[in-house]
Amino acid sequence: MSDGTGPGVQTGTAQALGLSAGDAVLGLLIERPANSYQLERRLEHRFGSAAFAHGTAYHAVRRLSKRGLIRAVQEGPSGGGRAQEADSSLPATVYDVTPGGVEHFRRWLRASASIPPAREELLAKIAFCGPGDLPRMVEIVRDAELACTARLNELNERMRSQRRVASDDGWRQLMTLIVTASDVAWWDGRIKWLGEVRRYLQREGQHYQAGRGLGSTFPAD
């Protein structure tokens, strides 16, 4: 598995990557306790039917319970879940969040959610910038390079610690190597592309400065 470290995914702490079903269910339970069926309905209502697969809430509840992030506050019959929900005469197990779950959710909520400056956004900025904006564009590209390099460092750090722990399974190591190489290649390409863009913008900025005065895309106030 890529462990959620791939392109376009926030690479923060292992448990706080992107919007996972667990995080969403945790958020819903913090709002108010609920059973799995209600959670499933609320997920659909809040995020749309396409956001999460059918049955997501049931799986998430099991995982969150195992991790001690939520607990049952009103026990239903054993073998609950969908079977229990089908028989409306049986009381369903209602879950609430534990203090650890609240803390986990707060950490996720406060973690940076944006990926490094998206190439599309950067391209749009470059497409619309004028010669006078080039110095700022160079700064933006440089920041993006730094952010990508930092991500590469994070990825390497995590991969190294994983590999040092599990060093006896050669086959698994090889598979992990191949998979992480895909992520690394993506960051590699991005860093190189950004470096090239920055050099090009710097050169163009110098040409314009040497030739004629720089003007911004936007008219002065």
Q: Does 195 bind other proteins (CB under 8 A)?
A: yes
Which SS3 state, helix, strand or coil, does residue 56 take? helix
The count of other CB atoms within 10 Å of the CB of residue 143 is 13
* Binding residue (CB under 8 A) for other proteins from 199, 207, 215, 218: 199
- What x/- string results for residues 29 through 58 when contact with other proteins is judged by CB under 8 A? xxxxx-------------------------
Window 154-183: residues binding other proteins (CB under 8 A): 154, 156, 159-160, 174, 177-178, 180-181
Confirm if 58 and 92 have CB atoms less than 8 A apart. no
* Binding residue (CB under 8 A) for other proteins from 22, 101, 152, 205: 152
> H helices of the chain, where?
21-31, 36-47, 56-66, 81-86, 99-110, 119-128, 134-165, 170-211
Window 129-148: residues binding other proteins (CB under 8 A): 142, 145-147
Q: What is the DSSP string of 90-133?
A: SPPPEEEE-HHHHHHHHHHHHS--SPSS-HHHHHHHHHH--GGG
DSSP 8-state assignment for residue 34? E
Task: Write down the least CB distance from residue 82 to other proteins, Å.
Answer: 25
Number of chain residues interacting with other proteins (CB under 8 A): 40
Footprint on this chain of other proteins (rule: CB under 8 A):
29-33, 96-97, 102, 106, 109-110, 142, 145-147, 149-150, 152-154, 156, 159-160, 174, 177-178, 180-181, 184-185, 187-188, 191-192, 194-196, 198-199, 202
